Amino acid sequence: MERKEQGMPWIRKYLPKSTKDLIGQDNVISNIKSFVKNFKKSRKKALLIYGGSGSGKTSSVYAIANEMNLEIMEVNASDFRNKDLIDQTIGQASKQMSLFMKEKLILVDEVDGLSGTKDRGGIQAIVKIIQETSFPIICTATNPYEQKLSSLRNKCELLGFNELSYMDIFGKLKEICDLESIKFDEIDLKSLSRRAAGDLRAAINDLQGLVSGGELVKENVRELSERDKTETIIDALVRVFKVKDAKIASRALQNVDEDIDQCFLWIDSNLPKEYTKPEDLARAYNALSKADVYRGRIRRWQHWRFLIYVNALITAGVATAKDEKYKEFVKYAPTQRLLKIWRANMKYQKRKAIAEKIAIKTHTSIKDTIKSTFPYVQVMMRKDKAMKKELTEFFEFDKEEVSWMVK
């Protein structure tokens, strides 16, 4: 693919200078500003912001610091892995005024980059600095509910960034194209925006790399999509549901970026939409049932050689279950079970994080807390406003945790 040198990287050239340049995060930005302004009155001296890659976590902090005339000191946690290095960098900065006597904001980027084992001293060092800091500290993470971050969570207010929609990203890419006088096809630009999956930084990098001669080249967009992800799960479903050839169907999942369990759920969810004849549907579900038996044996005995049978049954087995091809168009949709599993996992992680705080104060195990103390605390917070305030202060719950408890 022909690429044109573009000079300065556009992710730097179009880095937000103010909060007006940020997209899709209005409420989050407002909450970060409030934290910084009220830092000296705040019970917690650090903010842990989290969200997907390219959602605007780091750039938001810089834009806010610029607007509020704050000196910002950034360190990447993964570059300062041990206690001594962290103390030498963040520790000193958290106590001393800047050379120009400006107020300061400390950004600790990618705290989940610390391993939690050999770097455990690093996380504890950050926690200690937060307790003693004279300036607001903002930490960033992709997933704040990892076990290794439990002690850090207890000292921080948590704030989640929204996942950017493809239309948010499209709007920003279109703005850049206009500023750079780049010709583009709106369909190609939207395709690039969807492909970014909420990562604005990746989308801007892709755009710059695909521009040639002042134009977003259609062939380059297609080539990038094919190289990056040969097939989507939708393509795979077509090859399973719309063919009867076992050889073709058995290769349907080879280039799909989904694990076998997710593929199983996709096929299970969309199968009744495609196979309308009861006999075909029964044979197809018989193949899925056998595949599920092998999946159970893999989980129970770790016999991974059975994986080949699982793949064969959910692809070739399902494809050959029908008497003839179905010609009707069917719109395949993501299985709601995946969404439910994800929501359940997030709910469990949040509940566990809250239970950790209760366990520390009540000197009990997290397991016992979840079974006994947790439900009573939740009920009391929901029914009594005065008790809610008292328990929030005692257990040091942040706003997000309080909101979750009283929903």
pLDDT tens, position by position, 229-252: 445 788 788 889 988 888 888 888
Grouping H, G, I as helix, E, B as strand and the rest as coil, residue 178 is helix
Q: What angle do CA 75, 160, 402 make, to 5 degrees?
A: 120
pLDDT at 32: 94
Residues of the chain falling short of pLDDT 50: 1-6, 226-230
Burial code (b: 16+ CB inside 10 Å, e: under 16) for 276-288 equals eeeebbebbbebb
pLDDT at 229: 44
Grouping H, G, I as helix, E, B as strand and the rest as coil, residue 166 is helix
- Residue 16 to residue 196: CA distance in whole angstroms: 19
Q: Do 314 and 291 touch, CB atoms closer than 8 A?
A: yes
Grouping H, G, I as helix, E, B as strand and the rest as coil, residue 253 is coil
Q: What is the DSSP string of 107-146?
A: EEE-GGGS-SSTTHHHHHHHHHHHHH-SS-EEEEES-TT-
Q: Which residues pair with 158 in a beta bridge?
A: 48
DSSP 48: E
Label residue 105 exposed, middle or buried (CB < 10 Å: 0-12, 13-18, 19+).
Answer: buried
Q: Do 63 and 56 touch, CB atoms closer than 8 A?
A: no
pLDDT at 339: 60
Phi, psi of 75 (to 5 degrees): -130, 145
pLDDT at 5: 40
Label residue 403 exposed, middle or buried (CB < 10 Å: 0-12, 13-18, 19+).
Answer: exposed
pLDDT at 96: 67
pLDDT tens, position by position, 148-202: 888 888 889 999 998 888 899 999 999 999 999 999 989 889 888 888 878 898 8
- Residue 83 to residue 100: CA distance in whole angstroms: 28
Q: Do 46 and 61 touch, CB atoms closer than 8 A?
A: no
Nearest to 81 by CA among 115, 130, 39: 115
Tokens coding 101: 């006597």
- Residue 279 to residue 192: CA distance in whole angstroms: 42
pLDDT at 4: 42
Residues whose CB is less than 8 angstroms from the CB of residue 78 and which lie 6 or more positions away in sequence, other chains included: 110, 113, 114
Q: Do 273 and 358 touch, CB atoms closer than 8 A?
A: no
